[in-house]
């Protein structure tokens, strides 16, 4: 999740973290939970090679959050 100037995540051992670090040009901050940072979230990223799963997530997010 990107909140303010920070890239926050809960698991920096994920398979796409290295690529995202290269893409954005800075490392993530590992947090136990997102807490109040969700109030200022600019971007929430979900990555999966399961495209059907991602499509379902997108539909559910649109339904619950507009």
Confidence band for 61, pLDDT divided at 50, 70 and 90: confident
Alpha helices in the chain (DSSP H): 17-24, 51-65
pTM above 0.85, yes or no: no
| 3-class secondary structure, 22 | helix
Report the pLDDT averaged over residues 16-38.
94
Interatomic CA distance for residues 35 and 28, integer angstroms: 16
Does residue 26 surpass a pLDDT of 80?
yes
Contact 32, 8 (CB under 8 A): no
Distances (CA, A) of 41 to 6, 17, 25, 45, 49: 10, 19, 19, 11, 24
């Amino acid at each position: 999740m990107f909140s303010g100037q920070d890239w926050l995540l809960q698991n920096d051992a994920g398979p796409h973290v290295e690529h995202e670090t290269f893409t954005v040009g800075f490392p993530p901050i590992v947090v136990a939970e997102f807490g109040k940072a969700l109030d200022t979230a600019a971007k929430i990223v979900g990555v999966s090679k399961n495209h059907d799963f991602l499509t379902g997530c997108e539909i559910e997010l649109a339904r619950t959050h507009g």
